[in-house]
Structure formats: structure tokens, C-alpha cells
Amino acid sequence: MDKMYISENSKVVVQGITGNQGMFHTRLMLDYGTNIVAGVTPKKGGQTVYQIPVFNTVEEAAKDTGCDTSIIFVPARFAFNAVKESLLAGIKMTCIITENVPVFDMIQLTEMAYERNLHIIGPNCPGMMIPDKIKLGIMPGD
């Protein structure tokens, strides 16, 4: 039995969308055809990036857009809280691009995901992709 963690129907929230890397890779994912429905950056709710609404929290984004997949572009010192926020909001798949996330943080987050039957990939990973359908990450699309 194959298990698909993402699909062309995934509704993606980009955590850290207003940062340089978040904006850059959001544009590339949109160009690939990824369905990005929301962005999250604390204290920047109400803004838009590439016509995508930005929310203060993942919970707000999930309630408003029905997002079910998250990709995280935040500095390592904010990664634990960003991933925890995604898991507490019930996001089914959280992809952590951030590098240098402490191992102990990841142990706690992995346990939290397991307890909630949610999934995480990363940290320090290129993401996931289904060719010609969805690109969730930083890998080349061509």
C-alpha cells in the first residue's frame, strides 16, 4: 500500500513567507503549480505575498483556508515554535527546510507528531515533489 504525504490537491501554508528565502521559494513553488493558499509570519497578518494572504498564526491560516500542508522557512532559533504551531493546528504534513535545528528539539517534535498521527520531514531537507504536480521545497523544478 502506497502512502502519499502530498498531492496536487495539497493546500500549502508557507511559514516564514515574508523572509527572503520564503518569498524566493514561494515564487518558484507557485510557478511550478503548487497550491499555496496561505503564508504565516507573526505580526505580519493582513499583508499579502504574491496575492497570498499572510496570517499571524497557522491556526488562523488553517481556519480561513483549510491548509493541510506546511513548509517552513524560518531561522533555526524559531523552528521549534514554528513546527509546534503547525502540529498543534493539525497540519497533516510539515516540511522543515531549516537547517541547524537542535536534535533534542526534533526528538520532542517527532514525538508530538506521532502522538497526533501527523507527519514531519526534515529538518535540513530539500522538500518533496511529485513531478509535474507539486513541488514542496527548494529543489529545481525543471
Q: Using one digit for the tens of pLDDT, what is the confidence trace for 23-82?
A: 999 999 999 999 999 999 999 999 999 999 999 999 999 999 999 999 999 999 999 999
Type of residue numbered 105: D
**Residue 34: closest CA among 134, 140, 132:** 134
Domain count within the chain:
1
Confidence (pLDDT) at 4? 82
* Residue 123 lies inside a defined structural domain of this protein: yes
Confidence (pLDDT) at 57? 99
The answer to whether the bond into 75 is cis (omega within 30° of 0) is no
Mean pLDDT of the chain: 96
Q: What is the CATH number for 75?
A: 3.40.50.720
For residue 40, what are the β-bridge partners? 15, 55
Compute CA 80 distance to the chain's CA centroid, rounded to the nearest angstrom: 13
* Residue 3 lies inside a defined structural domain of this protein: no
Type of residue numbered 112: M
Average pLDDT rounded to a whole number, residues 122-128: 97
* Residue 106 lies inside a defined structural domain of this protein: yes
Confidence (pLDDT) at 142? 77
* Residue 7 lies inside a defined structural domain of this protein: no
For residue 105, give its domain range: 12-137
Q: Is the pLDDT of residue 1 over 60?
A: no
Quick one: DSSP state of residue 55?
A: E
Task: Give the model confidence (pLDDT) of 106-115 as tens digits.
Answer: 999 999 999 9
Average pLDDT rounded to a whole number, residues 118-124: 97
Confidence (pLDDT) at 3? 73
* Residue 2 lies inside a defined structural domain of this protein: no
* Residue 82 lies inside a defined structural domain of this protein: yes
Of residues 3 and 55, more confidence is placed in 55
pTM greater than 0.85 (yes/no)? yes
Q: Is the pLDDT of residue 11 over 50?
A: yes
Confidence (pLDDT) at 124? 97
**Residue 27: closest CA among 79, 73, 95:** 73
